[in-house]
Amino acid sequence: MRRPRVVDLFCGAGGFSLGFHAAGCHIQAAVDIDEDAGATFLRNFSRLQPRDGPRVIAGDDADLEQLDRGLVISDGPPDILIGGPPCQAFSTIGRAKLDSLSDEGFAGDPRNELYRVFVGAVAEWQPRVFVMENVPGMLSVEGRNAADEAAAELAGKGYEVGYAVLNAVWYGVPQFRNRLFIIGIRRDLGVRPAVPVATHRAVLPPGYMIPSRALQLSLPLVHHGELYAELDRASHQAVTTREALDDLPLLVDHLGGDPPPRPDFRRPLPYRRDPHSPYAEVMRGWPGLSGPDGIDDHAIRRTPRDYETFARMRPGDRYPEAIAIARQRLAEEIAALRALGKQLDEEQLATRIVPPYPVDVFIDKWRKLIPDQPSWTVTAHLSKDSYSHIHYDDAQKRAVSVREAARLQSFPDAYEFSGNMGDCFRQIGNAVPPLLAWAIASPLVELLGGQSSGPPL
């Protein structure tokens, strides 16, 4: 039985493709402008498909607006086209700075050239199925529902199309992460698209709530209609941060010495303990990737100023609490030095203890993970600043490592990332969580007559 062939446009590090591969697909080709992400993709899928690895086009050769699409599929069109074109006009971050849409609506917005590449590939290749991922901000762009317009345009290419906002936590990912998926099935197949039933239940915190009118819907996806997972059928509690991370090695070497030696970023480390959760077992035993003896990339940015503040923060604390703790530390240090009769340079002390960011601007710049709840969204901004995800263990006094960020995104431990630490954080934060992709892919593989393997959680 032939495995459905997949082409991944805007493939990034490969989270989307990894889920589709695990569900029973063959990855035919992948394209991304990010050279390091392309190297990560090739590195891992050469292992997953050693005899017939995908064609990976990355870096300067991957300009999709100029690329000859025939070079991507020289061996024939795919069964499934997937991708997440970066559409900045839809992001809720910086929305106030964006111009309004043109009079032509979504299709005429000049900022969405990369979306047009995806539409063009659908029109030219006519895959049996496509799945496009984007941010929920598509639902409301300057008062317009761009997701609805996109679905209508794609339906015009010969597809039954629908869209849904799904939260990764519903599918076993230890993270609250809303993403919008537009799914199309070619009309000659005679099937309307649907999204998978949720397997895990969780109360979504503020900021992640889906539109209230959509909560009442549990129907199959129809032509530019909305569908949300049937949460009442979920059989498992959401995976927590502790379940995701607690078997990984302790990191405390940053706390010794002045300054302590910086370890090799790629050094292998043994696991702290046997896996104590089904999630950890999946991360160690992903299909097609042999179970590692330990992990690498378990490295962090070193920020001595803040270690003690990290330790004193409570789970869930954000930057306002952190700055108050730092100021208390400063007061204690000043009092101790005065008690010893030492001269003080309070400005120098403040620089050594108190972070300089204004509280009213950076409320979420720092945040300490809550061990018995899922994480909040892992973003690409971790490449610039990982304080948004501070480890819950007071004794370790640090932000999350590259490998821990990968775990929170459901990348298995044997998945290897290319580039420096910032490159790795960026690739991880930009990815579609592989477990979420697996859940979406499984019913589509069955629809196309393949032998599907559903997610193990």
pLDDT for 251-273, tens place per residue?
998 998 776 677 778 889 999 99
Quick one: pLDDT at residue 291?
A: 79
Q: Is the pLDDT of residue 216 over 50?
A: no
Spatial CA neighbour of 131 closest among 179, 182, 91: 182
Alpha carbon distance 334, 313 (integer Å): 21
- The domain segmentation of the chain, as residue ranges, is 5-234+431-447
Instruction: Look over the chain and give the mean of its residue pLDDT values, rounded to a whole number.
Output: 87
Dihedrals phi, psi of 130, to nearest 5 degrees:
-135, 150
Show Cβ contacts of residue 238 under 8 Å, excluding neighbours closer than 6 positions.
169, 174, 200, 201, 202, 373, 374
The per-residue pLDDT for range 346-401, each reduced to its tens digit, is 899 999 999 998 888 788 889 999 999 999 999 998 988 889 999 999 999 999 99
Judge contact between 401 and 299, C-beta under 8 A.
yes
Query: How far separated are the first and last CA of the chain, in Å rounded?
Result: 26
Residue 254 has, within 13 A of its CA and on its CB side, a CA count of 22
The secondary element (H helix, E strand) that includes residue 152 is helix 146-155
Global pTM reads 0.92
Distance, in Å, from the CA atom of 56 to the CA atom of 28, rounded to the nearest integer, reads 9
* Section 306-310 average pLDDT: 97
Q: Would strands 80-83 and 5-9 be described as parallel, antiparallel, or unpaired?
A: parallel
Summarised one tens digit per residue, pLDDT across range 154-192 is 999 999 998 888 999 999 999 999 999 999 999 999 998
- The amino acid at residue 370 is I
Residue with the larger pLDDT of the pair 209 and 440: 440
Mind giving me the DSSP string for 346-388? HHHHHHHHS----TTT-TTTSBB--TTS-B----GGGGT-GGG
Burial of 357 (0-12, 13-18, 19+ CB in 10 A): middle
Instruction: State residue 67's pLDDT score.
Output: 79
* Rounded-to-integer distance, Cα 175 and Cα 200, Å: 12
pLDDT tens column, 41-97:
999 999 999 999 999 999 988 887 777 888 888 889 999 999 998 865 565 544 443
Residue type, 191: V
Separation between Cα atoms, residue 251 and residue 253, nearest integer Å? 6
Q: Is residue 442 pLDDT above 90, yes or no?
A: yes
pLDDT digits (tens, 9 = 90+) for 116-129: 889 999 999 999 99
Q: What's the CA gap between 394 and 453, in Å, rounded?
A: 39
Q: Which residues on adjacent β-strands are paired with residue 148? A: none
- pLDDT mean over 11-20: 98
Question: Using CA atoms, how far apart are residues 17 and 340, in angstroms rounded to an integer?
Answer: 62
Residue 11 has pLDDT above 70, yes or no: yes
Instruction: Give CA–CA dist 134/118, Å, rounded.
Output: 12
Question: Does residue 223 register a pLDDT over 60?
Answer: no
Catalytic residue positions, numbered: 87
Confidence of residue 142 (pLDDT cuts 50, 70, 90): confident
Cβ neighbourhood burial of 76 (10 Å; 0-12, 13-18, 19+): exposed
Pick the CATH number of 5-234+431-447 from 3.40.50.150, 1.10.10.10, 3.40.50.1780, 3.40.50.720: 3.40.50.150
Identify the pLDDT of residue 110.
52
pLDDT reading at 426 higher than 60: yes
Tokens of 244: 């995701």
Query: What's the pLDDT at 92?
Result: 52
Give yes or no for residue 224 having a pLDDT over 70: no
**82: part of which helix (H) or strand (E)?**
strand 80-83
Residue pointed to by tokens 């007071």: 394
Cβ neighbours for 93, distance < 8 A, ≥ 6 positions apart: none
Cα atoms in the Cβ-side hemisphere of radius 13 Å centred on 190: 0
Residue 227 CA to residue 221 CA, distance in Å, equals 6
What secondary structure does DSSP assign to 411-455, as a single string? --TT----S-HHHHHHHHHHSPPHHHHHHHHHHHHHHTT------
> Rounded distance, CA 8 to CA 261, Å?
41
